[in-house]
Amino acid sequence: MTQPRVCVLRAPGTNCDSETAFAFERCGAIAERVHLFRLLENPAVLKDYQILCLPGGFSYGDDIGAGVIFSQKLGGPLVEPLREMLSRDTLLLGVCNGFQVLLKAGLLPGGTQNWPPSGARDVTLTWNENGKYTALWVRLKNTAPHNAFLKGIDEIDLPIAHAEGRLAVRDPGVLSAWQKQGNVALCYVPKAGANGVRPTEAKLEYPENPNGSFANIAALSDASGRVLGLMPHPERFIDATQHPRWTRLGLTGDGDGLKVFQNAVDYFK
């Protein structure tokens, strides 16, 4: 097995980089926490990695919007190195703030196709419908089984912790195209599970859809399945005992979130 190298890219205000690197390492990867300033000084270091991950936090204090400043930093001198990296058989993951960055940079849902984008974005992540920071556990349905990070996952429990996690679109008609292209990756579903219901059909209410996201969408994938952005935090549920109801549910061993990182490592077998 090839031991993949992971670049956990952090910026001022990132606060989930250590936990994310630990999750990758536990699954057998070599993970390095790399500061954005170092990457800007030497973009060529991306050639040393097979996985790039943008972890959660509040990059640049979420000034002018969550992930906005960080997303702008991915333009300019980093455009070609990022394009080169993703042209190889590599993986890209954005968790919470990292998802906000990838979406606002234009790397999701289309990947590097037509990137950097021109003109106004058709989709964004913005303030939760309740207007406040929200932290709770959610149930999720995998609607993109082709995505490398989600292989073998049907439904999972994960925690969310964000203020700007509501997926909003300019035109609701985009959902049909996203579904055909495999862009809808994870959807919020009731605690009892999807039970055969298409998770995008009827918008759920709080707390099942904790932020009011369009079509209950919690994560997006590119068409290739090598890029994933999700609002929930898989790195916060890598052990069963991290679940708030682990004793009542009789959970033991690994938490649901560890599978996301294990899938990424196993991709390079």
Choice among 27, 53, 96, 187 that is catalytic: 96
- Catalytic-role residue among 16, 162, 233, 243: 233
Q: Write out pLDDT tens, residues 217-266.
A: 999 999 999 999 999 999 999 999 999 999 999 999 999 999 999 999 99
Q: Mean pLDDT, to the nearest integer, of 206-220? A: 97
Active site residue 235: yes
Locate 23 and state its tokens.
């999750």
Distance CA 38, CA 21 (A): 17
Q: What is the spatial order of strands in the sheet that 134-142 belongs to?
A: 30-35, 5-10, 51-54, 91-95, 227-230, 217-221, 184-189, 134-142, 155-162
Architecture category of domain 5-266 in CATH: 3-Layer(aba) Sandwich (3.40)
pLDDT band at 118 (very low <50, low <70, confident <90, very high): confident
Question: If we measure between CA atoms, which residue out of 12, 238, 13, 30 comes closest to residue 21?
Answer: 30
* CA pair distance 138, 120, nearest whole angstrom: 31
pLDDT tens digit sequence for 135-174: 999 999 999 999 999 999 999 999 999 999 999 999 999 9
> 266 exposed, middle or buried (CB, 10 Å; 0-12, 13-18, 19+)?
middle
Q: Strand, helix or coil at 186?
A: strand
Mean pLDDT of the region 43-61: 97
C-alpha to C-alpha distance for 15 and 13, rounded to whole angstroms: 6
| Selected catalytic residue, list 27, 53, 235, 243 | 235
